[in-house]
Amino acid sequence: METMRKRDFDGDVLTAALETDDGTIYAAYNERERGTEGPFYVAYTDSSRTDRYGYVCGACGSTHVAMNTMGRLDCCDCENDRKPAEWDAAYL
Ligand SMILES: [Zn+2]
């Protein structure tokens, strides 16, 4: 009896492989930051999540997400961004 297994890399259904210009990256769907248009997922270059790549925009699927030192995330391909709200609150 043959069993079809579609989600069988490392048995982790919360990780998704994505093809990019840099090769295959792995988005961790359970590691995310809230953005204005959708979540940003943490991405790794390996499925065991040891080598961090950056972020994937959950709104448009782009990997062109800019990070700055203030903790802000900004998608280069759509309007999605994350403002460091906790920091803002601390200054108000
Ligand atoms: Zn985007």
Domain span at 19: 15-78
> Is 21 contained in some domain?
yes
3-state secondary structure the chain: CCCCCCCCCCCCCCEEEEEECCEEEEEEEEEEEECCCCEEEEEECCCCCCCEEEEEECCCCCCCEEECCCCCEEECCCCCEECCHHHHHHHC
Residue 8 pLDDT > 50 = no
For residue 30, report the distance from its CA to the centre of ligand 1, in Å. Answer: 18
Residue 34 CA to ligand 1 center (angstroms) comes to: 12
- Asked whether residue 1 is domain-assigned, the answer is no
What spacing in Å lies between the alpha carbon of 67 and ligand 1's midpoint?
13
Evaluate whether residue 85 is within a structural domain. Answer: no
User: Quick one: average pLDDT of 47-68?
Assistant: 94
Q: Is residue 88's pLDDT more than 60?
A: no
Q: Is residue 70 part of a domain?
A: yes
Q: Decide if 34 is inside a domain.
A: yes
Q: Give domain status of residue 46, yes or no.
A: yes
For residue 3, tell me if it sits in a domain. no
Quote the number of domains for the chain: 1
At 64 the pLDDT is: 94
Q: Please state the rounded mean pLDDT for residues 52-77.
A: 93
pLDDT for 71 equals 83
